Structures are given as C-alpha cells and as structure tokens.
Structure 1
Amino acid sequence: MTSLFTYDQGAHFISCLELADQNLRRKYKDEANVRWIVISLHDALYTLLIQKLTRTDGFGIYNDKFEKRVGEFYEKQLSSKSAEFHQLMEQAQNENIASIVELLKRANLASKAQIRTRNIEDLPRPSRGLSRLKSIRNFFSHPAPMLAGYYSDWLLDAISDTVSVIDEVRNLPGKTAARHDTHEADLLLKFIAFYLFRWRSDAEQ
C-alpha cells in the first residue's frame, strides 16, 4: 500500500531544529552544513510564527488582502455559522500564507525584530542578523546558489540572532495550543545554543 505523507506544523518545526542541531554538531563545517543550518533555522522561525499567529478560527496568517476581508466580516458581527463565514473558510484554502517578513511584523516582538532587504547593516540586532540570514537563505534555497563567501563572525551573528528570535517567538502567547512537543524543542534549542557557542569559540582561536 502506498504511504501518505501529510504536512504537520509541529513535526516540521521539530524537524527543522533537528536538522540545525545535526549540522551544528559537525566540528569542521563545509558549505553543505552551513546551507542546512541557515535554511533549517529560517524555516523553524517561519513555521513557529505560523503556529503562534493562527487564531482559533484558522485565520491570522494569510496575506494582507485576505485578512482585510476577514476583518470586515467580523466588523459586521456575523455568525461563524453564516454562509459568509463558510465562504471565507473555503477561500482560505486558495490563499497564500503571508511571508515571514509580514508575520514578523504582526508578531510585534518586544525586540522589534524585523527583516529588511536594504540597508541591513544599519539595523540593530537581532534585526541585522535576522535580515542577514534571510538574504543568505534566499541564495541557498536556489539549486545553483550564487557564489558567495561569508566571514564566520558575520555568519555566526546571523545565526545567533535568529535563534534568539525563535526563543522570543516561543514565549509569545499563542491563540491555539502548541503543535509540537515543547520539551523536545527546549532540549534541541539548548543543544543548538551549545554547539553554536562551541563554533564561535573555535572560530575565535
């Protein structure tokens, strides 16, 4: 019998952390290790934002245009049993989820973390490092990424800032219950912090 694989946000978040942990453990990292560290941490943050911002009605994570329609529905104080609500639910199946940039704005973190594509070096941390990691991820997600090099301290700051934002998002009060094992996530993030610290120590020698 053919197996059916379905997407699960909780499992995806944990698998991203596992991939980052696995590649951070390598004492001598090559471009493949760096690529998977960057992609996995970016995607861990993205899926965590989706988890935290999804409301009990299933909305809150879609593109601005659709979320505006949802807001207009609630302004009319219509029932969730109404035909209009069911139409919104059906339309949501064909709508795009907002970008990580937009979801980060909606999260409104205390650190004011944001992602920009221009004047990145003018940003304070953790926005600077997070924006760096996003730009690297855009290169690495391509099957033939541009040839580029990164100094270890520049890269390490980007990774550290991203991990700090993941920690901050984890502490946000979610609208729904966590979809992943929080104890497993705690453990993986401790491992990630440890191997990141060791990588930085080795780089400074």
Structure 2
Amino acid sequence: MSYFTKKEQILIIIIIIIIFIISGFNFINKNFLSTKNDHNENTDGVEELFMKLEEEAETNEDEQYIMVHVSGQVYNPGIVELKLGSRVIDAINLAGGLKKDADSDKINLARKLSDEEKIHIPKIGEEEISFEDSNLKQGNNEGKININTCTKEELMSLPGIGEVLAGRILEYREQTPFKTIEDIMNVSGIGNKKFESIKELIIVK
C-alpha cells in the first residue's frame, strides 16, 4: 500500500482549499448578481411610480379656474369657482339653479365664461338693460353693489357675507350711511381680511 509523501499531502490540501475558495466565490457572485437585478427591478418600479405622479401633477397644474359672480333669479347668488372653459349653465347650477320666475330666454346658457365675469339672471318681465346703459347707470363700476341702497340678498351674494352679517350692514346704514367703502369695516364681524375679499365688488353712492 503506497502512501502520499508529506509534500504531496500538502499539495492536495492546497488544491482542495483553492477549489473551495473558487466555488465559494462563484456562489457569492451569483447571489450578488441576483440581488442586484432584483434591486434594479424595484428601482425601475419606483421610478415609474414617480413619473406617473409627476404627470398627474402637471395635469393638475394645467387645470385653470375662474371666478364668476352670479346674481338675480338663482337660489344661491354669489361668487362661484369653475374650470376654465365652463359655460353659463355651469355657473347657474353651482349657484343653486334657476328660480321659477327666471327668464332664461334672455341669457345664453351655452356661452363660455371668462374670469371676473358677472352673470345676471333677469326675472320674467324685468326690463333688459344693455351693456352700454348699464355702464352709464353704474358709473362704469361694472355691476358693483352699492352698500347704501342694495338689498339684503345682494349683500349675501358677496363672498363671506351671510344672513347675519347682511342684517348688521343694513342696521348700521340705517343709523349711519356709508361715506366710503372702508366704513363697512365699522360693522361688527367685518375685519381687514373680509374687507379685502369684497372691496372690489362694492361701491358707495
């Protein structure tokens, strides 16, 4: 029976160790590549999600809104907010819809709206006033509300003015007529912030 010499035994051990090292390296490298691919797939999914969110944000930014004042024969007169490209009928619906006495034949329900526009819904039998006559009568004030002569309903059409505040304004002007629009801030409940929201919509005559 032959035996390996000591030198041969050492050489065999070294070869076995090298084989184990190579096998271990291949195993680790294979797992690393697999993990890396999984990571890349996850990263691609996250990037795709962010791209979708950015597209949605851009779409929302493209949506523009306008403010329109609706008065007359509607159930909730006042300021309404609509998307750009909306029509008169859309503003009327947001203002509660037409009352039974509204003369819808005198308005174009299909007309597209623009920002800061005022829509007046006349009553059946109400005298129609042309745009030029309206400007002359209002002193080119573009339909602003005269807080010395307006009705309670007209006051309630102003943003932030409810029934209680409208009543206070009427009570105040009975005692002391308004000399300037700033005098409306003397009414309890109307501060600087509320005045800023209505000052472009009111006048004093």
TM-score normalised per structure 1: 0.23
TM-score normalised per structure 2: 0.23
